[in-house]
Structure 1
Amino acid sequence: MRTLLMAGVALTVSLIGPVAVADATAERAALDRIERPQVCGPAVSANTGTPVADMVMVEGFGTGGFAVDTIVPEAQAWFNHGVRLRWAFEHKESVRAFRKARLLDPTCGMCAWGEAWALGPNLNGGGNDDDSQSAALKAARDARRLARRATPMQRQMIDALVQRYSGLKGSRDRRFALAMDRIARRNPSDITVAAITADAWMLKADEWWDDGGKAKDPGITRAMGILEQALATAPDDPGAIHLYIHLTEWSDDPHKAIPYGERLASLAPGASHLVHMPSHTFYRVGRYRDAMMSNVNAVALDLKYDSLARPPGGVPGMALHAHNIHFGMGGALMAGGAEEGLKLAEWFLATYPDIPADNMWRQAMANNAYALYGRFGSADQVAGLAEPPETHPMLRVSWRLARGEAAARAGDAAAVRAEAAAIAAIRSQTGFAAGPNGEMRNDFTEVTQRVLEGRAAMIAGDADAAIAAFTRAAAIQGQGEEGGDPPIIWYPTRRSLAAALLLKGDAAGARAKLLELIEDWPNDPYSYFVLAEAEAALGNGEAAAEARRQSRIEWIGGAMDLKLT
């Protein structure tokens, strides 16, 4: 399997803990461990201490919840809402909902269980800090103390949570997964228990899949079986579908999640993250337009939720809002979705105008925004982009990319070359590749430099220089594992290399490169466009016509150009 440089959340995860930067081998090993992520956003604590009394219950988060030990209808309603929010990965809001349920009925043991559950580890990497774990243990012990009216199964669930936050940290995930698994085996028809158990096994596993998409951990095999059994019984359960999309995304058959993903948004039309989630499957199987629109809708829902519920921190404080924008921008770039893509790019730069200098992840995400301006923006729009400060070199590189791509569209090789040279100058500054994530920073920006060098060479008709530039970009991009979420380098630079080979007259080499590439980036419209040109050059008329047809399936942009491939 060919590989890509960085996955969309790789830098997020890398910011959670220190990386051994003194040893390049250690840094690469750390990169390899995080290249194929299963998470959707940054690790943040749900234990915010924000007010709960004035929380508003927003409709549209789907089904979820079950009868607990309360006779207060409002407490039961907020408990159910907390469950729905937890499966929507609204972890902070879920904690608030369970705390509101406890406020309404201080004697409800399972309401305390809900708070403890929502505070704990989640697939976004949150809930592992000492403060969250301590607060969760206290809530779990409260649940045990209060749960006289809880059912026997619910008391077992409480005991499992106490284990999750007690004893040696290194064994907590496994003990919790085993405890929940025993409950699930005794209650095979309980969908909530099934989902919690599958989630526990997914959290326990250090690695999910090997390069061939086969399970690397028995817990992943067990989680898959649990979820498929649950969905056979309850095919419209949002929580089970959410987990199934994550679990299958990098398996050997991501297509299995398509029928579930296609209906998830209608099952939870008010939950932005669940409306977003199908895009993980769509992007993986090459449905880039659908991936774009899932996130256009998710971004709109975030704004709606803010207007209705006024959560602390507003839209910028939503942990997954930037992820929605980033994913939508990636789909737009791949599909040629200029109109929606530029709206997302404008919104991203407006929503996060003051990215901290040490937040590499957010700066890397911004690359898609600048790429959209470069690929589709008007001359005035590109000229209106403010130059980022010198304290933000990665943003400056992306700003140069926008200018370079716009110049390439105009056919100005000298201007493209000048932007590439400016990026090279930024990379040559003392200390640019030093410190945490230095190697990744350097690789990421060198790919950008080489892409622009290749663009300039293509415009000038210098096939050898274009091949050299794109070969280097593809080699760097191929160092890590195949990424998703989406890839931080938005497109496969091998397709640019194939176009350069075609310019050189090596149509057979270009064809071979593209057939290999399409295995990893299915339905990439621009790759099919180049393939059509290669097949035509080889005299394969029928194959060329079929490739042209394929190129139009996911493409909603204008005319394609080999020089801009």
Structure 2
Amino acid sequence: MLARLFRADAPSVHSHVAWEDLPDEALPTPPLLDGLGDTHLQVTTQVPLAQAYFNQGLRLLHLGWGLEARRAFAEAARQDPTLAMAWWGLALARGVGQRFTADRAEAIRKALTLAEGTTDMEQRLVVAASLLADKGPANGRHAFVREMECLIDRFPQEPEPRLLLAGFLLDGYESDGRPGQGQPYAQLLLRDLLRTHPHHAGVHVAWVQAWLPSARPETALESAELLPSLVPAGSPALLAAGRLLLRVGKAVEANRILESAVAADDAYLARESLPLDVAPSADTALRLLSEGCVEVGQYRGAQVWARKLRQRVEASGGQPQAVLFAATTLVAAHLRFGFSRAAAEVPMELGDAATVAEAGLRDAVRLYAKGVCALETGRLGDVERACGSLDALVLTLAEAPRSEGRALCARDVARTVEVAAQELRGTLDARRGDSGRAEAALTRALRLERRLRPVGPALFCRPPRETLARIRMRSGREEKALELALERAGERPGCGHCMLLVAEAHVACECMSEAAHDFAVVLDLWRDADPHLPGLQRARGFAARGHRGRTALRRVPDVASVDTAPVPRGGEAPWTVHGA
């Protein structure tokens, strides 16, 4: 969709991918693909292959697969050099970032030159795209929207103008939950398209993207479940569907779709013997599979997927940014289950080519994990030094220049590191008995987390909201803790860790019947969890002993010894981690 092509809305795994710097005419010829939907827009050409490749490019554009859409449009232009809409597609698919501004402008200039003699719809689409190419998505926004509205008014039965406008207007949600500018308008357009074109794959992809960042992702559940049958070869669409299913708590269905996204990418690469970094979705799908295992209590499963991701990254050449993407996936899994020593020893060798942002993120992850280790063993001085080092790192990263293209931005890394630093400091203050300072630090971490840009690196620390809720429970503010826990569980209804927090908050508030229900939900969510999880033992202990107040939990140890699956450490022998 246009919003994704003009504005990156997710962290990139690789800082650079094949073909990105190739001119359009040098792109390799793609095969005509099945399994991408049946979108068709008649364009002015006498060459059937040019029409076929244009349709393929349009389908890929709707799926958010910009790189492959560009190949298809380039081949359409090769088949018919006079096809104006092929150059229109190349202008839209060229990629985000200022460094491609000249390429987009040249493509749209050719489209404008060739548009004379084409249909009214084609000419208006080219003119609308020229407004974005000339002024950029921000400055050209109003003019583009007005031109597309005129096009929709003139061709009310044609889905493509409405879908393209909706895709451009999708702007997500602000930190306080309010929709971004144009978001409700886009949702109205898409709702109407679902009614008039219920089998249009691009409409369902856009509908999923429209509701994924909202507080009501279940609105797009039907579309997410339908996409695997509509676009079985479109891994970006499968990735979006899997992500939404994870958000609404359907982990089993999400894992099946995410695995199919990896398989679709592997088939795509094998078909043309392409490099691994060209695959649009496999790396992110593997990370989501690891996160999904975390939510349902499968520590070993989370490590397996994270290990596969690491192997894939290394096989693709081991770009520092990709290495960090894989390493932080494993770090997050270790920390979620309380194994900070394992997190501190995850290998993150970046080499001499690492940028300031990449080196800063690596150092921050190591500092944070070591700080949590020190906290668990009572070395509060070491924790204080880790907090100080993280604060200094934030200042260094915040002063670094902005990056371009897919590369990690140092300022985005600074924001993520600041959240981790405040979460660690809040936990340290709570350990020292200063609940006021702990509350202030964690509240700041929570505010910072809500302002993180989606394009930045994923948060690697423990969730600040959960940390704050646990500290409030210990400091006698049970009702406030319960509010936070319910808010968190509402966002991740399929996460056993979140429901466990809600259950423990209800116990702290002496709401035993509610706690019994919550623990039953935890046991259901964790029905296939690793058997020795401390949280699972607490839930079973409560269920076995009935409503006996807080003592029902005290009889179950807070952290039990757990043997982990072997962690890859450069060929070293497997090792075992035990809880504190």
TM-score by length of 1: 0.74
**Pairing 1:137–2:108 present:** yes
For 1:40, the aligned partner's letter is A
Q: In the TM superposition, what are the counterparts of 1:24-43 in structure 2 within 5 Å?
A: 39-42=9-12
- The residue that corresponds to 1:83 in the other structure is 58
The structure, 1 or 2, with the larger RCO (C-alpha pairs under 8 Å, 6+ apart) is 1
Task: Supply the distance in 1 between the matched residues of 2:378 and 2:263 (Cα, whole angstroms).
Answer: 37
Cα offsets for 1:186-214 (capped at 9, x unmatched): 22221222211222334xxxx65456645
Within the candidate set 168, 185, 203, 2:153 is matched to: 185
Specify whether residues 516 and 156 from structure 1 end up closer, same or farther in structure 2 by C-alpha distance, changes over 3 A only. closer
Give the direction of change, closer, same or farther, for the CA distance of 1:515–1:449 in structure 2 (3 Å limit): same
Q: Determine whether 1:435 maps to 2:404.
A: no
Report deviation, 1:276: 0.5
1:59 and 2:34 are equivalent in the alignment:
yes
Corresponding residue for residue 167 of structure 2? 199
Mapped pair 1:481 → 2:450: yes
State whether structure 2 residue 416 is matched by structure 1 residue 444: yes
Find the aligned partners of 2:172 and 2:337 in 1 and give their Cα distance: 37
- Tell me the distance in 2 between the aligned counterparts of 1:236 and 1:308: 27
Structure-1 separation of matches of 2:78 and 2:101? 24
| Partner of residue 3, structure 1 | none
Look up the match of 2:263: 300
Change (3 A) 1:290 1:493: farther
- Contact kept? 1:288, 1:554, Cα under 8 Å: no
Structure 1 pair 429–518 and aligned structure 2 pair: CA distance change class (3 A): closer
What's the C-alpha RMSD, in Å, of the aligned pairs? 4.4
Counterparts of 1:402 and 1:107, CA distance in 2: 58
Shift of 1:101: 1.9
Q: Which amino acid counterpart does residue 48 of structure 1 have in structure 2?
A: L
Kindly provide the amino acid, as one letter, of the partner of residue 361 in structure 2: M
Equivalent of residue 240 in structure 1, options 196, 200, 203: 203
> Given the alignment, which residue of 465, 468, 481 partners 1:510?
481
- Count residues with an aligned counterpart: 509
Structure 1 residue 435 displacement after superposition: 1.8
Aligned mates of 2:323, 2:348 — CA distance in 1: 17
CA deviation map 1:345-390 (0-9, x unaligned): 2234344458777x6x984774233222455699998797435469
* CA distance in 2 between partners of 1:377 and 1:513 (Å): 21
Match of 1:21 in 2: none
1:314-325 to 2 correspondences below 5 Å: 314-318=275-279, 321-325=282-286
Give a deviation string over 1:237-265, Cα, whole Å, max 9, x none: 12112222222334454332111112112
Q: CA deviation at 1:508?
A: 4.4
- Aligned-pair distance for 1:504? 5.4
Residue in 1 that maps onto 2:405: none
SS at match of 2:140: helix
Distance in 2, Cα, partners of 1:378 & 1:520: 24
Aligned CA distance change for structure 1 residues 158 and 302 (closer, same or farther; 3 Å): same
The 2-side partners of 1:324 and 1:61 are apart by: 18
Decide whether aligned partners of structure 1 residues 351 and 69 sit closer, same or farther in structure 2, where only a CA change above 3 A counts. Answer: same
Aligned counterparts of 1:549 and 1:54: Cα–Cα separation in 2? 55
Contact 1:265–1:275 (CA under 8 A) maintained in structure 2: yes
Match of 1:275 among 225, 238, 243: 238
| Counterpart AA for 2:37 | G
Conserved in 2, the CA contact under 8 Å of 1:368 and 1:490? no
- Is the aligned partner of 1:155 residue 2:128? no
Share of identical aligned residues, percent? 19
- 1:302 to 1:381, Cα distance in 2 relative to 1, 3 A: farther
1:479 partner SS:
helix
Q: Per-residue deviation at 1:543?
A: 0.8
How far apart in 1 are the matches of 2:370 and 2:139?
A: 51
The answer to whether the aligner puts 1:347 opposite 2:322 as a matched pair is no
CA contact (8 A) 2:87 2:110 kept: yes
Q: Which residue of 1 aligns with 2:23?
A: 49
TM-score normalised by structure 2 residue count: 0.72
SS at match of 2:156: coil
Structure 1 residues 168 and 471 mapped into 2: Cα distance closer, same or farther (>3 Å)? closer
Secondary structure at 2:36's aligned position in 1? coil
CA distance in 1 between counterparts of 2:169 and 2:378 reads 53
2:105–2:134: 8 Å Cα contact kept in structure 1?
no
Residue 266 of structure 1 aligns to which amino acid in structure 2?
Answer: S
Q: Compute the displacement of 1:130 (Å).
A: 2.0
Unaligned runs of 5+ in 2: 401-408, 536-557, 560-578
CA gap of 1:463–1:284, structure 2 versus 1, over 3 A, is farther
Establish whether residue 334 from structure 1 lines up as the match of residue 305 from structure 2: no
The equivalent of 1:529 in structure 2 is 500
Distance in 1 between the 2:127 and 2:442 partners?
52
Say whether the 8 Å CA contact 2:297–2:529 is kept in structure 1: yes
Distance 1:141 1:377, change over 3 A: same
- Whole-Å separation in 2 of the counterparts to 1:336 and 1:448: 23
Question: Cα 1:532–1:156, aligned 2, differ >3 Å: closer, same or farther?
Answer: closer
**Shift of residue 94 of structure 1?**
0.9
Determine the structure 2 residue equivalent to 1:226. Answer: 189
1:129 aligned counterpart, secondary structure:
helix
CA apart distance, 1:100: 1.0
CA contact (8 A) 2:50 2:75 kept: yes
Shift of 1:107: 3.9
Report the residue type matching 1:398 in the other structure: V
- Deviation of 1:545 after TM superposition, in Å, equals 1.2
